[in-house]
Structures are given as C-alpha cells and as structure tokens.
Structure 1
Amino acid sequence: MVKKDKKNPKRVLRDVKKQLQNNGIGTKSQQALKLQHELKKKNINLIPNIKSKCTQNESLS
C-alpha cells in the first residue's frame, strides 16, 4: 500500500490565497508609476501619427 502525502490544510489555504492575490507589482505607488509609464509610452506613439496627419492636411490645402 502506498500512502498519499497529506498536505496541511492551513498551508493549502495560504497557497491558494497567495495565488489569488498575486497581482505582479506590490505597492500602490509602484502600480501608479507603471500606469504612468504606460500612458507616457502610448502618448509618445500617438504624437508621430498626429504630426503625419497634420502634414497630410497641409499638403492637401
């Protein structure tokens, strides 16, 4: 007969809780900085598109 390893129920609950709360970056300030960085990257990517549209409109006039 082979016995199955029994896991401590408290440890199982702790492991499940850790997996559910794993959000990546831990603190609120780090999350805010990450969001700010992503928004800045998106704005930088939008600026060349706006400039090219402006130059196209000027050439049409």
Structure 2
Amino acid sequence: MRDLGAVYLPCLADDWLVVPPEETVAFLCECARVLAELPAVTAARATFEDQAATASIFQTTSKPDN
C-alpha cells in the first residue's frame, strides 16, 4: 500500500482511521488509486503470504530424534 503512496489506508493496520472532512477528497483519491492497482496489490499480498508460509514450514520442521 505504501508503495502506491497510500497514507490513510496503512493506518488501518494498527488503529481506527479517522479522516477529517477537509481531507476527504485526498482519502477518496487514495482509495481510487488503490482500487486501480488492486491486481498488483493482491498479487503482492499473495507473494507475501507464500513467503511467510514457506518460512513457517522451515521454522517448525525439526530433526528426528536418533
């Protein structure tokens, strides 16, 4: 999201989002920009999740006791 220049939407990862009335147009433009790039955003998310799953497999795999 931040790679797209998003300022408002990344805040949702940690907290509630409150957009002051004077920033509504900027917020809506950000939403439109993200929607326009949605295929790229979802592809990046899928890649991130695949990498996290792979890392998790290697972390939980243990050697057999001999």
TM-score (norm 2): 0.41
TM-score (norm 1): 0.43
Q: Could you say which structure has the larger radius of gyration?
A: 1
